[in-house]
A = this chain, B = another copy of it.
Amino acid sequence: MSFHLHQIAGKNAEKTKAHNRRVVLGYLRGQPAGRAEIAKASGLSTQTVSNLMAELVTEGLVVPTGRRRAARGQPPVVYAFNPSGAAVLGFEVRPDTLTMVLTDLGGTALVTRQIPLAQTDPAHVLGQMAMLAQAHMPHMPVLGAGLVIPGPFGVDGLSGVGPTALPDWDPAQIPLQAEAALGLPVHFDKDATAAALAEGMAGAASGLSSYAFLYFGTGLGLGVVAQGQPIRGAFGNAGEVGHIIVHPGGLICECGNAGCLEQYASRLSVQRHLIAMGALPPDGTGLDAALVQLLANQNQDLMVWVDTAAEALSRAIGLLENLFDPQCTVLGGALPDALIDLLIARLSLPPGSVARHSGRRNPRVLRGTSGTLTAAFGAAALVIHDTVTPRLDARAPDIAATESPPCP
């Protein structure tokens, strides 16, 4: 899988059927419904929906839940999406850890495993992944695997440095190698984008078609879903929010900028702050426990950081609102819930934002799924998303096709 949209593929009857299956599944994931309702919503004939439903029931992806007696007429047989009908794998690779989750189609964890990584070369890690997967194969069918790593990919001065560096992980090669190693279709993406999809599937953004997800990993990531589709950009690096400048002339970042958001609002930044204040040992261990503790005590050192971080985040969220016009912005990832809640409470969002819309139905900012497994669940969500969301298929270029013509 590459990130450029090379050439959109043509369709035939089979592709059309696959599309319609996704339409039906996607609708049913939102709410249980009878066949006639689905037909009306999708524009398909009831007969077609009947045929598809019969297949989906056979496969176990959908289950009838009895008749609904509502108005006149024969009451419809209501069908519901069956999360237990199949499973998916999600892998998150970080320089020091490999995380695997096995979830059902609802995103509910069946198995979670974390193992430390001594080496980070793809061959070794893929071997570990295959081993883990082998050891936890469920009885239900496994539809595919998601694989996420921290971004950005292939950026001078950003990718090779810092604690998230994974050398030799080429986005163009890895998915194919992973498919070979796992024997499953593999969906590859960066952690924040995947985490955003997870949030849209079962979390705070469920049911939304346009939203932004700020992901606290080591740094700060961003996944944006616009009109139901994740934004990936030309090289899969969209959403590199950690290095947007919120304080011109502010703290120097290793990326070369001054005043990067990540310097003010990230795990690393709070860790550094607490070490400097003597609230954490110099090696920075025990951050999560300390955060919970300090938060409970309303520790002033922490509050100082919260205010600074909230100011920086407010600017960033204002930006995201004006650039992406999301239904809402969600904050989640590897920080304690209570801390994220506090950050949200301390936000002062800029007034000049398209988020102040008369048609708005959602809060501007919400807390999403927290915890260190967020990205791995996101990886699983990549597969689920692919299963239930209609899409435009791309075709890989065959022979030395021009990848992107030069800007004239």
Contacting pair B325 A234 (CB below 8 A) = yes
21 contacts between A and B (CB under 8 A): A5-B209, A5-B228, A8-B228, A11-B19, A30-B405, A40-B398, A154-B357, A155-B354, A156-B357, A210-B234, A226-B226, A227-B231, A231-B231, A232-B325, A235-B359, A237-B354, A244-B318, A244-B322, A245-B350, A248-B315, A257-B352
Question: Complex Cα distance A390/B10, Å?
Answer: 9
Q: How far is the CA of A158 from the CA of B355 in the complex (A)?
A: 10
Smallest Cβ distance from A327 to chain B, in angstroms?
A: 4
A286 on the B face (CB < 8 A): no
Whether A404 contacts B239 in the complex (CB less than 8 A), given A11-B11, A42-B7, A324-B231, comes out as no
Cβ-defined partner of A232 (8 Å) among B4, B227, B245: B227
Q: Which of A71-79, A93-101, A361-369 lies at the binding interface?
A: A361-369
Residues of B within 8 A of A358 (CB): 154-156
Closest B residue to A392 using CB positions: B390
Chain B residues closer than 8 Å to A241, beta-carbon distance: 322-323
Bound: A16/B17 CA distance, A: 11
The residue among A156, A209, A352 with the most chain B CB atoms within 10 A of its own CB is: A352
A278 interface residue, CB < 8 Å from B? no
Complex Cα distance A179/B261, Å? 46
A230, chain B: closest CB distance, angstroms: 9
A60 CB, nearest partner CB in chain B, Å:
22
Whether A240 contacts B206 by the Cβ 8 Å rule is: no
B42 near A395 (CB under 8 angstroms)? yes
Q: Which of B12, B19, B392 contacts A391 (CB 8 A)?
A: B392
Q: Return the CB mask of A128-142 against B: 1 if under 8 Å, else 0.
A: 000000000000000
**Contact indicator A408/B206 (Cβ below 8 Å):** yes
* A255 adjacent to B10 (CB under 8 Å): no
Does A69 make an interface contact (CB < 8 A)? no
The one of B19, B208, B404 in contact with A327, judged by C-beta atoms closer than 8 angstroms, is B404
Contact A234 to B327, CB < 8 A, known contacts A10-B42, A23-B8 = yes
Within the assembled complex, what's the spacing in Å between the Cα atoms of A43 and B395? 8
CB proximity to B under 8 Å, residues A15-34: 15-16, 19-20, 23-24, 26-27, 30
The prevalent SS among residues of A at the interface is loop
A contacts, CB < 8 Å to B: 4-5, 7-13, 15-16, 19-20, 23-24, 26-27, 30, 40-44, 48, 152, 154-158, 204-210, 222, 224, 226-229, 231-241, 243-248, 253, 255-257, 260, 315, 318-320, 322-328, 350-354, 356-359, 361-363, 366, 390-392, 395, 398, 401, 403-408
Contacts of A44 in B (CB 8 A): 10, 12
Which chain B residues border A4 with CB–CB below 8 Å? 209
Known: A9-B42, A10-B20, A323-B323. 7 other contacts (CB 8 A): A5-B209, A43-B395, A157-B352, A158-B352, A231-B324, A240-B353, A256-B351
Nearest CB of B to A33, in Å: 11
A233 pairs with B356, CB closer than 8 A: no
Structural contact, A361 and B398, CB atoms closer than 8 A = no
Q: B361 to A41, Cβ gap below 8 A?
A: no
Contact B233 A326 (CB under 8 A): yes
By a CB distance below 8 angstroms, the chain B residues around A407 are 204-205, 208, 327-328, 361-363, 366
Give Cα A20–Cα B8 distance, bound, in whole angstroms.
9
Distance of A229 from chain B, by nearest CB (Å): 8
